[in-house]
Amino acid sequence: MPLDNAPEGKRKFNVVGTRPLRPDGIDKVTGRAKFGADASAPGQLVGRILRSPHAHAIIRKIDTSKAEKLPGVKAVITRDDFPDHTGGSGGLYDTLCNVMAREKAFYEGHAVAAVAATSASIARQALKLIKVDYEVLPHVTDVDEAMKPGAPLLHKDMFTDGVDPKPKKPSNIARRFEFGHGDVEAGFKKADIIVERSFKTEAAHQGYIEPHAALASMGPDGSAELWCCTQGHYMVRDVCSQLLGIDIARLRVTQSEIGGGFGGKTTVFIEPVALALARKANRPVKVVMTREEVFKASGPTASTSIDIKIGVTKDGLITAADGVFRYQGGPFQGCSPAEFGAMSAFAQFHLDNVRAVAYDVVCNRPKTISYRAPGAPMANFAVESVIEELAHKLGMEPIDFRIKNAAREGTKSSYGPVYGPIGLGATLEAAKNHPHFKAPLGPNQGRGMAAGFWFNFGGQSCVTLNIPVDGSITVSVGSPDIGGSRAAMCMMVAEEMGIPYDHVRAIIADTSALGYNDVTDGSRTTFATGMACILAARDAIKKLCARAAATWGIPEDAVKWENGYAKPAGPNAGDFAPLSLKEIAEASPGTGGPIAGHHEFSADGAGVSFATHICDVEVDPETGRSSIVRYTVIQDAGKAVHPSYVEGQFQGGAVQGIGWALNEEYIYGKDGRLQNAGFLDYRIPVCSDLPMIDTQILEIPNPGHPYGVRGVGETSIVPPLAAIANAVANATGVRFTQIPLSPPRVLKGIEEAKKAGGRKAA
């Protein structure tokens, strides 16, 4: 759908661009909002899951007989209660294997059995009575180790895809991808300076406050209901019904308020288990994860190992860029975001010769799932670190080096498509002109920057808009609101209808009330579901005009809609007093019944998004501790529907990136068990660890949306790792190639550099 008033894109807005309060705000701050664990049902049982203590083991036998006999236990389930309805391969089969282990437990925390009982303590006792006979196997948790010949094999039938000829020996490499264009070897021959480095990043968790929770009930006729916290209840419905072998239409899923998702709630973990327990017990069952389960058995992001090689001419033009991206995604193929990492790695540059090779690797770790711009932050860390180093070698200001090589409209991107209008250059120029960029630095401080990219996504949305007799409006959407999207939906509807924002209320409808809606991911909701809201409003306006036309006895196309009123389209249409939305709604019972608008589609044209971050870090030279002293995010939003919530997305992504860069990591012991499965030792930053994150919204309209909107939720986590690493490098003179930049690691780097007499890499 084209931009309104294109090409200038200078539409005047009344509601869009203002900052009203979100409709869900009061319920959230007063405790009235109902989250995943807040629902209850009559006769409800407590469901709990038994998890593997081993990182890799064959499950020879599971004896549940003692648990079943314990008074108060109403159901015990294992793999035997999940007959395979998936066809035995592919992503859905892997999901089945992940929600309940089959032949093997693939990671510490992998579900192997579950019970439903009348109390939590009986359920816990019952878990202890389940005897699992394991044959413990050697395990591997490091991506480089997993790729070595002779590494413990997770799947005997995994032969790397994407390699010609297909290997004859199985390995832990599920697939090889390659992206790029030109001839990198020829490009490197033209280079005067080449920098080549290897990087490693550890897995991070999305760290949402709310643990996964689900309340399931299933009747003897196979009709089922599920209440859960998720980023996509239609996805939950479709996946669960397929895993359980029931008709999709029999399962009705209602999404609770969500206490954070960040990509981590775009799949199922406990939901099919709760349903299977409810089916077997014939009672409602509630399953709530503990924080330890969230860390061990939900889906963190990938750990990676990355090699980057970039060549430049003396005058700072990149001649070739080459990268190898190894991502482990847990035990199943296609789960690591290696492909997105490789696709996004060089996307911010205009390159004649570029190649990005990715390996999707399996390991004995939890099955990874999306984390905000999945795969991009790690790749960006590696690439933008090398870019900064090249700029220093060239004696060029890093920002000028980036501007010189920046992708622009018409650039063939490193992953294939040719860019339309993009905001990268504008964010770089804005960074260069930002007061932050010129502010003086204190002792032991360094400034770093990085530019990042994310694709953004459109996808399927279905929206219904109802107009009751008082002329207020209910918008039913099927996209869970994880970042203020209900406010944005109301604003766009109010904008179209020409009425005040607070006359519109948006709700998240259950799966039986609307057609399919894709998961809230890919920064798609304000863009795609928002566009569906605009089009549903336009559909309703058409009907409102038709009612007015009938009232006046003139043709429908002789009526126009303006600022909340139906008016005769011109002097020839007749002389009638305008009818307000409220007047038409009031009369609707007698003019044809209820008035509703509707739109369903699959949205194309999600505009790509770029951001530039500037960061000042102070590194304590005696302790190695880094503190963020100033941070600025500059990002293209296309059109900021609600600027405060756009700024919130910018800040939130930056903060999660700061945590990942400085503190957060999955720490595994030699036994393959996670050492820090709690917030005591998995440290996410809090407000007092941080300066105010400054933001600057740029608006380079996306031609694929009537208002120019681009998704904004993900790009903001892409540049922080590199921006911080570059700042630390500039503060210490040491290039760090591994995150997190923990104090011992940084101090070691500083001391080794001192011994070696200057700048080096650590």
Closest to other proteins by CB, 581 vs 747, is 747
Where b means 16+ CB within 10 Å and e means fewer, 714-725 reads bbbbbbbbbbbb
| Identity of the residue, 376 or 617, whose beta carbon is nearer to other proteins in the bound complex | 617
SS3 283: coil
Residue 565 has φ and ψ, to the nearest 5°, of -130, 145
CB of 668 to other proteins, least distance (A): 12
To 10 degrees, what angle do helices 720-732 and 743-756 make?
40
Residue 564 interacts with other proteins (CB under 8 A): yes or no = no
Q: How far is the CB of 368 from other proteins (least distance, A)?
A: 22
Instruction: Give the nearer residue to other proteins in terms of CB position, either 19 or 683.
Output: 683
Q: C-beta of 681: minimal distance to other proteins in Å?
A: 5
**Cβ distance to other proteins smaller for residue 124 or 560:** 124
- Based on CB atoms, which residue is closest to other proteins, 84 or 292? 292
**Residue 29 sits in the site that holds other proteins (CB under 8 A):** no
Please identify, using beta-carbon distances, which residue of 232 and 624 lies nearer to other proteins. Answer: 624
Cα(318)–Cα(349) distance, integer angstroms: 9
Structure tokens belonging to residue 475 = 């918008």
Q: Interacting stretch for other proteins, rule CB under 8 A, among 237-245, 279-287, 320-328, 675-683? A: 675-683
Q: How far is the CB of 755 from other proteins (least distance, A)?
A: 15
The window from 159-167, 266-274, 453-461, 685-693 that contacts other proteins (CB under 8 A) reads 685-693
> DSSP strand E in 509-574: where?
559-562, 565-568
**362, 431, 463, 747: which one binds other proteins (CB under 8 A):** 747
- 204 vs 662, which CB is nearer to other proteins? 662
For residue 583, give both structure tokens. Answer: 């007047």
Sole binder of other proteins in the list 198, 644, 676, 696 (CB under 8 A)? 676
Specify whether the CB–CB gap between 510 and 233 falls below 8 A: yes
Which of 526, 588, 663, 716 lies at the binding interface for other proteins (CB under 8 A)? 663
Helix, strand and coil in the chain, % to nearest 5: 30, 25, 45
Reported as type and span, the H/E element at residue 432 is: helix 424-433
Sheet holding 213-218, edge to edge: 73-77, 111-117, 45-51, 285-288, 213-218, 224-228, 251-255
Neighbours of 643 (CB within 10 A): 17
- Mapped onto helix, strand or coil, the DSSP state of residue 581 is helix
**Comparison of 7 and 744: residue with beta carbon closer to other proteins:** 744
Region 690-709 residues binding other proteins, contact defined as CB under 8 A: none
For residues 102-161, which are near other proteins according to CB under 8 A?
120-121, 124
Size of the site for other proteins (CB under 8 A): 27
Give the interface segment with other proteins, choosing from 66-74, 246-254, 503-511, 674-682 (CB under 8 A).
674-682
Sequential DSSP letters for 685-739: --GGGS--EEEEEE----TTSTT-----TTGGGSSHHHHHHHHHHHHHSEE--EE
| Region of 758 on the Ramachandran plot (φ > 0 left; ψ -120 to 50 alpha; else beta) | left
Q: For the window 272-291, what string marks contact with other proteins as x by the rule CB under 8 A?
A: ------------------xx
Least Å distance, CB 629 to other proteins, is: 15
The contact pattern for other proteins, residues 456-485, with x = CB under 8 A and - = no contact, is: ------------------------------
Whether omega for the bond prior to residue 7 falls within 30 degrees of 0, making it cis, is yes
What's the closest the beta carbon of residue 739 comes to other proteins, in angstroms?
Answer: 14
- Of 294 and 534, the one with the shorter C-beta distance to other proteins is 294
Shortest distance, position 192 Cβ to other proteins, whole Å: 40
Buried b (16+ CB within 10 A) or exposed e, 556-581: eebbbbeebbbbbbeeebeebebbbb
Determine which residue in the list 292, 400, 586, 600 makes contact with other proteins, applying CB under 8 A. 292
Q: How far is the CB of 691 from other proteins (least distance, A)?
A: 13
Q: Least distance to other proteins from the beta carbon of 128, Å?
A: 12
Residue 685 CB, nearest distance to other proteins (Å)?
Answer: 6
Rounded CA separation 691/729 (Å): 20
Determine if 686 is a binding residue for other proteins (CB under 8 A).
yes
Question: How far lies 540's CA from each of 291, 500, 525, 723, in Å?
Answer: 45, 16, 21, 47
- 418 or 687, CB closer to other proteins? 687
In the complex with other proteins, the residue whose CB is nearer, 46 or 540, is 46
Contact flags string 589-628 toward other proteins, x per CB under 8 A: ---------------------------------xx-x---
Binding of residue 675 to other proteins (CB under 8 A): yes
Question: Exactly one of 6, 744, 756, 759 binds other proteins (CB under 8 A); which one?
Answer: 744
In the region spanning residues 391 to 420, those forming contacts with other proteins, defined by CB under 8 A, are none
Strands (E), 182-272: 193-201, 213-218, 224-228, 251-255
Minimum separation from the CB atom of position 661 to other proteins (A): 12
Alpha carbon 309 to its chain centroid, in Å, reads: 28
Which of 685, 701, 706, 719 forms a contact with other proteins (CB under 8 A)? Answer: 685
The residue from 500, 681, 752, 759 that contacts other proteins (CB under 8 A) is 681
Residues 724-743 that bind other proteins (CB under 8 A): 742-743
CB of 744 to other proteins, least distance (A): 4
What phi and psi, each to the nearest 5 degrees, are found at residue 661? -70, -35
**Distance between CA atoms of 213 and 299, rounded to whole angstroms?**
15
H-only helix segments in 271-375: 271-281, 291-297, 338-345
DSSP state letter for 573: G
Segment interacting with other proteins (CB under 8 A) among 312-320, 358-366, 459-467, 683-691:
683-691
DSSP-based three-state secondary structure for 358: strand
Q: Is 680 in the site for other proteins (CB under 8 A)?
A: yes
| 495 CB-side CA count, 13 A | 23
Q: Give the range of 200-208, 266-274, 455-463, 659-667 binding other proteins by CB under 8 A.
A: 659-667
Look at the block and give the residue holding tokens 């509707």: 598
Strands, sheet with 303-312, edge to edge from the N-terminal-most edge strand: 173-181, 354-361, 318-328, 303-312, 193-201, 738-739
Residue 333's nearest CA partner among 180, 157, 200 is 157
Name the residues that contact other proteins, by CB under 8 A.
120-121, 124, 290-292, 622-623, 625, 662-663, 667, 675-676, 678, 680-681, 683, 685-686, 688-689, 742-744, 747-748
